[in-house]
A and B are shown apart, each in its own frame.
Chain A
Amino acid sequence: MVMTIETNTKDAALESLLKDMPSLIEGLRENRETYLTDAVLLGEIPSPTFGEEDRVRLALDRFRENGLDDPEIDDLGNASGILPGSEGSSSILVMAHADSVFGSDVRHVLNVGSDYITGPGIADNAIGMAAVVGLPNLLEKLGIHLKDDLLLLINTKSLGVANLEGSRGFLETKQRPIRAGICVEGAEQGRLSYSGLGALRGQINLRLPSNYDWHRFGAAGAISHLTRFVSQVMEIPVPKEPKTKMVFGEMHSGSSFNTSPRSGSLRFEISSEDDEVVHEMETQVNELCEQYSMETGIHVMMEVVAKRKNCGIPFTHPLVKTTRSIMSEAGVTPAVDPSTGDLNSIILAGHPGVTLGLTSAENVREANESIKLEPLYSGMAQMITLLRAIDQGLCES
């Protein structure tokens, strides 16, 4: 009986939050200058993984300007700050990664049109960062006051070989009671991640020995060997159930038209819903390396640069259910998408969490990456409504 009353009260509270969404969207449209400006200013500072200092420094300045408590940069380069709640008995973590796939040599110039922003890294993840950095200002302008402390984090070292080092390190050292976490990504609106996928990121390094016999049968340069090796790796069966994927992401070798290169490398990722499958495939790739080395006299080695386990909260968890209701109210169809990103760090640290995408994007991770502004307002409203729902205890079992 008590449980039913409590459930009814929670339903009513969520209903009331959902009713506020249209006016929240309008409020966010009216106040868009705050976060769009931050997105451009942050996005125009190059921030490759392991080189995020300058961008993070601006985020920290904003934390200070917005009056957060304890604004700081930790040993891993993460910037964080706290917006104290009226009760402050627990915290809600809202975070966005600062690093981008674009190097410092890429021109980080963004263009702003009436209904879009274009430029490298705007979707992944300058607009996500801006949403986090601008939250204190936005909440104040929108007249929203939280009971919980709001713990804001701009984390470094998220992508690629960094293996979530920034967020993992932060959550290991930040000893605060965290009620739930929201990872904010620029795209894609409707994305709903509540589980982290087991994954392995590896690099195959292939090198011809200094005494390589170019006259031997089958002798070839590193590119030929690398392609032969890749076709052998592609023969490894990839199961459909449990869902598993192998992606070849990057390959490097050679420097000119007519010189046979002596070394090359390949970067790939295996992800699966089953950690055992990842492990088995890792073993098979290692065996292939060994076999290829012995058969050809070429040095082929696999280096594991990142590895993470499956983790997650159930589809029926109140945090996930509430997020789905909010998306539905915003007119967005949720697309369940297991994450290989910072959500893993939140969940592995023992906190419930989800990853949300703010808006629609095109050409993500290309120089002409672009976000649409119109969907952004409902994307932001979705994030703030979820924050309020967590604050009101609507996302707990």
Chain B
Amino acid sequence: MTGNNQKWLDDNTFHHGEFWDILKLVEEKEKKGLKISLCIPTLNEEKTIGKEVLILRSELMERYPLIDEFAVIDSGSTDKTLEVASNFGADVYLASDILPEVGNKRGKGENLWKAIHQLKGDIICYVDADISNIHPRFVYGLVAPLIRREEVHYVKAFYDRPLNYSSGLRSSGGGRVTEILIRPLFSLFYPELTNIVQPLSGEYAARREVLENIPFPIGYGVETSHLLDLYDTFGLEAFAQTDLDRRVHRNQTTNALGKMSFGILQTFFNRLHAQGKIDKLPDLETFYRRFEVEDGVYSQIAQEVIEEERPPMIEIQGYLNRNQ
């Protein structure tokens, strides 16, 4: 398996610098008749969304027409996210307005899932809204392997991940959940998936026919579930990954990462069971419990984290009607 791993790493791991000639990518895309949609899921991102929309639209729609559609799908921001995004020319949608008949759930995964219905592209590229050092490579680096290699269905980003503290950048410490939760779990149950350098990165691009056939957890587990479901169906060959160099983003507290890990674990155990890797799964608790101490008094905090899932979009009648 080591040999296979190395071969996959050699063949399916790219650096964005390999795709610097965007004009050439545009020609290849047009030759293959592909349409590409870009989706940025948002919730209160007024500080960074303006720059993302400005740069990605200007470079990848106006200067080089690599992207055919650019949408911001929002979970109900209370700041100026929508105003700023629309000011710089993005199509702006409220997730709750898309497929209203299926109701509204709150979470990033919900926005990503509804993007499949709202957007028209054959390839959908998802980019998080909190990237301080946004650059066109965050998109062309991900869609390029899909344009060039038909057998690739899903491309993940990986980076250097310095964290953005008020005192400046720290060059390590990013990807903590990856290193102390996901990588050990993958090593135990899905060793081949450990080849994916940053399984939780929020930037990825995939073909529509793949995205519409997988369920979407609406919360923390969406990236993990994509990997597990696609790996189960297609194997590692369906994946590729691109080094996008540095990504500067907000630091999250350890408490927030604990809650995130709790959500991911729900998704992970459910997949293990569904894929027959474990026999019995007890009813999983939905309360994430941790401690707080104030004036020497310990108290337990319990937060409910339910990893609800949306079914594959292909099973939604509204989506089927749209395709007709």
Interface residues of A (CB under 8 A from B): 33-34, 36-37, 40-41, 44, 65, 107, 109-114
Contact of B50 among A41, A44, A107, A112 (CB under 8 A): A112
Q: How far is the CA of A40 from the CA of B54 in the complex (A)?
A: 9
| Bitwise interface map of B from 112 to 142 toward A, beta carbon under 8 Å scored 1, else 0 | 0000000000000000000011010000000
Q: Write the nearest CB–CB distance from B47 to chain A, whole angstroms.
A: 6
A34-B62, A107-B168, A109-B132 known; A40-B55 Cβ under 8 A: yes
Interface size on B, residues (CB 8 A): 24
Q: Contact at A44–B84, with CB atoms within 8 Å? A: no
Contact of B51 among A34, A65, A107, A112 (CB under 8 A): A112
Q: Tell me if B104 is interfacial: C-beta within 8 Å of chain A.
A: no
With a CB–CB cut-off of 8 A, which chain A residues contact B229? none
Q: Contact at B48–A37, with CB atoms within 8 Å? A: no
Q: Contact at B132–A114, with CB atoms within 8 Å? A: no
Q: Contact at B169–A33, with CB atoms within 8 Å? A: no
With a CB–CB cut-off of 8 A, which chain A residues contact B62? 33-34
Q: Which of B39-84 contact A (CB under 8 A)?
A: 46-48, 50-51, 54-55, 57-59, 62-63, 80, 83-84
With a CB–CB cut-off of 8 A, which chain B residues contact A109? 132-133, 248
Q: Write the nearest CB–CB distance from A347 to chain B, whole angstroms.
A: 36
With a CB–CB cut-off of 8 A, which chain B residues contact A34? 58, 62-63
Other than A40-B55, A111-B50, A114-B80, give 9 A-B pairs with Cβ distance below 8 A: A33-B58, A33-B89, A36-B54, A37-B54, A40-B51, A111-B48, A112-B50, A112-B54, A114-B84
Q: Write the nearest CB–CB distance from A376 to chain B, whole angstroms.
A: 14
With a CB–CB cut-off of 8 A, which chain A residues contact B57? 33
With a CB–CB cut-off of 8 A, which chain B residues contact A110? 51
Q: Contact at A37–B59, with CB atoms within 8 Å? A: yes
Where chain B touches its partner, the secondary structure class is helix
Contact of B58 among A37, A107, A111 (CB under 8 A): A37
Q: How far is the CA of A110 from the CA of B84 in the complex (A)?
A: 15
Q: How far is the CA of A98 from the CA of B87 in the complex (A)?
A: 29
Contact of A113 among B58, B84, B135, B169 (CB under 8 A): B84
Q: Write the nearest CB–CB distance from B245 to chain A, whole angstroms.
A: 13
Q: Contact at A33–B54, with CB atoms within 8 Å? A: yes
Interface residues of B (CB under 8 A from A): 46-48, 50-51, 54-55, 57-59, 62-63, 80, 83-84, 87-89, 132-133, 135, 168-169, 248
List 11 A-B residue pairs with CB atoms under 8 Å apart, sorted by A's residue number: A33-B88, A34-B58, A36-B58, A37-B55, A40-B51, A107-B168, A111-B50, A111-B51, A112-B54, A112-B88, A114-B83
Closest 10 CB pairs of A and B: A112-B50, A37-B58, A33-B58, A112-B51, A114-B87, A109-B132, A37-B55, A114-B84, A112-B54, A113-B50
Contact of A44 among B47, B63, B133 (CB under 8 A): B133
Q: How far is the CA of A37 from the CA of B56 in the complex (A)?
A: 9
Q: Write the nearest CB–CB distance from A314 to chain B, whole angstroms.
A: 42
Q: Write the nearest CB–CB distance from A140 to chain B, whole angstroms.
A: 13
Q: How far is the CA of A109 from the CA of B250 in the complex (A)?
A: 13
Q: Contact at B50–A114, with CB atoms within 8 Å? A: yes
With a CB–CB cut-off of 8 A, which chain A residues contact B55? 37, 40-41
Q: How far is the CA of A111 from the CA of B248 in the complex (A)?
A: 13
Q: B85: nearest residue on chain A (CB-CB)?
A: A114
Q: Write the nearest CB–CB distance from A374 to chain B, whole angstroms.
A: 12
With a CB–CB cut-off of 8 A, which chain A residues contact B168? 107
Q: A373: nearest residue on chain B (CB-CB)?
A: B87
Q: Contact at A111–B88, with CB atoms within 8 Å? A: no
With a CB–CB cut-off of 8 A, which chain B residues contact A37? 54-55, 58-59
With a CB–CB cut-off of 8 A, which chain A residues contact B46? 113
Q: How far is the CA of A44 from the CA of B58 in the complex (A)?
A: 16
With a CB–CB cut-off of 8 A, which chain A residues contact B80? 114
Q: How far is the CA of A110 from the CA of B134 in the complex (A)?
A: 10
With a CB–CB cut-off of 8 A, which chain B residues contact A113? 46, 50, 84
Q: Write the nearest CB–CB distance from A219 to chain B, whole angstroms.
A: 39
Q: B49: nearest residue on chain A (CB-CB)?
A: A112
Q: How far is the CA of A65 from the CA of B62 in the complex (A)?
A: 13
With a CB–CB cut-off of 8 A, which chain A residues contact B135? 41
Q: Write the nearest CB–CB distance from B64 to chain A, whole angstroms.
A: 9
With a CB–CB cut-off of 8 A, which chain B residues contact A65? 63
Q: A33: nearest residue on chain B (CB-CB)?
A: B58
Q: A115: nearest residue on chain B (CB-CB)?
A: B87
Contact of A107 among B63, B83, B169 (CB under 8 A): B169
Q: A66: nearest residue on chain B (CB-CB)?
A: B63
Q: B83: nearest residue on chain A (CB-CB)?
A: A114
Q: How far is the CA of A44 from the CA of B54 in the complex (A)?
A: 14
Q: A108: nearest residue on chain B (CB-CB)?
A: B133
Q: B52: nearest residue on chain A (CB-CB)?
A: A112
Q: How far is the CA of A303 from the CA of B58 in the complex (A)?
A: 47
Q: How far is the CA of A37 from the CA of B84 in the complex (A)?
A: 15
Q: How far is the CA of A346 from the CA of B55 in the complex (A)?
A: 34
Q: Write the nearest CB–CB distance from A245 to chain B, whole angstroms.
A: 35
Q: How far is the CA of A37 from the CA of B136 in the complex (A)?
A: 11
Q: How far is the CA of A131 from the CA of B210 in the complex (A)?
A: 43
Q: How far is the CA of A111 from the CA of B169 in the complex (A)?
A: 16
With a CB–CB cut-off of 8 A, which chain B residues contact A44? 133
Q: Write the nearest CB–CB distance from B69 to chain A, whole angstroms.
A: 17
